Amino acid sequence: GDSVTQMEGPVTLSEEAFLTINCTYTATGYPSLFWYVQYPGEGLQLLLKATKADDKGSNKGFEATYRKETTSFHLEKGSVQVSDSAVYFCALSDQGSWGKFQFGAGTQVVVTP
Amino acid sequence: NAGVTQTPKFQVLKTGQSMTLQCAQDMNHNSMYWYRQDPGMGLRLIYYSASEGTTDKGEVPNGYNVSRLNKREFSLRLESAAPSQTSVYFCASRGGAHQETQYFGPGTRLLVL
């Protein structure tokens, strides 16, 4: 079945450092790919998405490119802020189904001043 | 436009007690979902409703029941709570212009003693 694997955390960074969170997936069809962010005590918010190969999703300085050849959707940000401290989830949705999502385990990111 | 709302925000139950978690969305979405979030395990699908009048099991349905009351509301019921059901529960909906995206509520934190 479909699955998502993302790097384990916590990832601890200093402010203005470069962030990369690796995400790889396994899917039988042509899924859409997502990054969601969860701030402490809150629900998940969509950060960015890509619906087909080579698409780049971007939002709030974060970027991720849908790489079909490597089945990856790595999240990057060039200069993190303390406010980026959160848990980040990679997810896929098989467009051929009823919209079922498969989530990764989540990566906690801690940014220190 | 409140998006997805959930009640209650926090609940403590004793083993064997029952309760219903409420979820409502005002985005006119067809599909709704219930997830549980446990440390290190990401989000796991409990039940989903692809459209009004239909419900189906997800990955971890045991011990739960659901009701799609109408297009807006999707409730999750624990008939006899167990400590293993201590978790954070999220409701989500999908539909509209961004068919591939799920939108999440703020969550219900449940503690079963």
Listing DSSP states for chain B in one string gives ---EEEE-SEEEE-TT--EEEEEEESS--SEEEEEEE-TTS-EEEEEEESSTT--EE-S--TTEEEEE-SSSBEEEEESS--GGG-EEEEEEEEETTEEEEEEE---EEEEE-
Q: If you measure CA to CA, which chain A residue comes closest to B107?
A: A43
CA separation for the pair A46, A2 (Å, rounded): 20
- Is pLDDT of B72 > 90? yes
Q: What pLDDT does residue A96 have?
A: 58
- Is pLDDT of B100 > 90? no
Is B9's Cβ below 8 Å from some Cβ in A? no
CA separation for the pair B108, B87 (Å, rounded): 8
Residues in chain B with CB shorter than 8 Å from the CB of A105 are 40-42
The answer to whether residues B91 and B2 touch, using CB atoms and an 8 Å cutoff, is: no
Handedness of CA A109, B2, B4, B8 (dihedral sign): positive
> Best mutation site among A25, A90, A100 for testing chain B: the one with the most B CBs within 10 Å?
A100
Do A51 and B100 make contact, defined as CB atoms within 8 angstroms? yes
What are A57-110's pLDDT values in tens digits? 999 999 999 999 999 999 999 999 999 999 999 999 876 555 678 899 999 999
Q: If you measure CA to CA, which chain B residue comes closest to A46?
A: B103
* Coil vs helix vs strand at A83: helix
Q: What pLDDT does residue A101 have?
A: 85
CA separation for the pair A50, A102 (Å, rounded): 15
CA separation for the pair B3, B32 (Å, rounded): 12
Buried b (16+ CB within 10 A) or exposed e, B8-31: eeebebeeeeeeebbbbbebebbb
Instruction: Write the residue in B42, B92, B99 that is nearest to A104 by C-beta.
Output: B42
Do A105 and B48 make contact, defined as CB atoms within 8 angstroms? no
What is the average per-residue pLDDT within B97-110?
87
Residues in chain A with CB shorter than 8 Å from the CB of B87 are none
Do B43 and A89 make contact, defined as CB atoms within 8 angstroms? yes
CA separation for the pair B42, B46 (Å, rounded): 13
CA separation for the pair B92, A46 (Å, rounded): 12
Instruction: Tell me A109's DSSP state.
Output: E
Task: Give the closest-approach CA distance of B12 to chain A in angstroms.
Answer: 17
- Is pLDDT of A30 > 90? no
Task: Give the closest-approach CA distance of B100 to chain A in angstroms.
Answer: 7
CA distances from A62 to A79, A81, B25, B40 (A): 9, 12, 28, 23
Task: Give the closest-approach CA distance of B5 to chain A in angstroms.
Answer: 10
Phi and psi, residue B60, nearest 5°: -130, 65
Beta-strand relationship, A32-38 and A23-26: unpaired
